[in-house]
Structure formats: structure tokens, C-alpha cells
Amino acid sequence: MLSLCFRLILGCVFFYAGAVKVVDPQGFALSVYNYHIVPGWFVNPFAILLPWVEVVMGAALILGVLIPGASLVVSELLLVFACAQGLSLARGLDISCGCFSTSREAGTITWPFLVRDGALLAMAWFV
């Protein structure tokens, strides 16, 4: 029962986060660029591909298909997201997360974002 609950939470989070980015690839590309981690030539392809990976993984978790693979991909994504946020915080960058909004007015990343990603990562590992 707990696994189902975690799977649905992760599925909804990833489906929603990806869908927001799919409809505004330019805004998400700017969010990716602001992290200064991805090489400039790869920002646009990354900003187009990643949201679709999130949507597909979210849908897989919601629908209960390919659960082991989807939870593994989601775990890896969460680990990468946490590392990117932690690195950006350590470097003192004042940027928006790009997680659930592509708006420049979205809240800036903070240490609690890492806690959130850690909790989601623990759910993915449990699933």
C-alpha cells in the first residue's frame, strides 16, 4: 500500500513537472542555462528531451507499467537534480529551480529544495 502511494505521488510529481516544461521549452531552456552546468550547445536539446522523459516516467508510474525501470530513472533524475541544486547553492547562484515552473518569477532554489528531493528520492528507492 505504501509503495502504491509513493508510486502515485512520484508519478504525479514527474508528470506535472514535465508537462509544465513541455509547453514552455524556451523558458525551461533558460532555467537550465542559468545553472551553468550543461554545455551551451546542449542546453536546447536537453531542455526539449528532459521534460518528455519526466512525462513518460510519470505516466509509467501512474499507470503501473515498467515500474522498476521508471523508478530507477526517476531516482537517477532526482539524484542529478539534487546535485545540480546543491552545487548551485554552494556557488551562491540566485536562480529559480525550474522544477515546477518555467517562470523567471518562480522562487529561487533554497536548501529545503534538497530536502524535498531527498524525500522524493527515498520514495523512489522504496518503490
Number of H helices, E strands in the chain: 5, 0
**CA separation for the pair 47, 77 (Å, rounded):** 14
Hey, is 24 helix, strand or coil? coil
pLDDT given at position 104? 66
Residue extents of the structural domains in the chain: 2-126
With contact defined as beta carbons under 8 Å apart, do 65 and 22 qualify? no
Residue-wise pLDDT tens digits, 87-108: 999 998 888 888 887 776 667 8
57: left (phi over 0), alpha (psi -120 to 50) or beta: alpha
**CA separation for the pair 103, 11 (Å, rounded):** 23
Among 8-12, 50-54, 102-106, where is mean pLDDT lowest? 102-106
With contact defined as beta carbons under 8 Å apart, do 77 and 60 qualify? no
Assign 45 a pLDDT band (cuts: 50, 70, 90): very high
**CA separation for the pair 12, 44 (Å, rounded):** 25
With contact defined as beta carbons under 8 Å apart, do 71 and 61 qualify? yes
Residue-wise pLDDT tens digits, 67-80: 999 999 999 999 99
Tell me: pLDDT of 46 over 90.
Answer: yes
Residue type, position 127, single letter: V
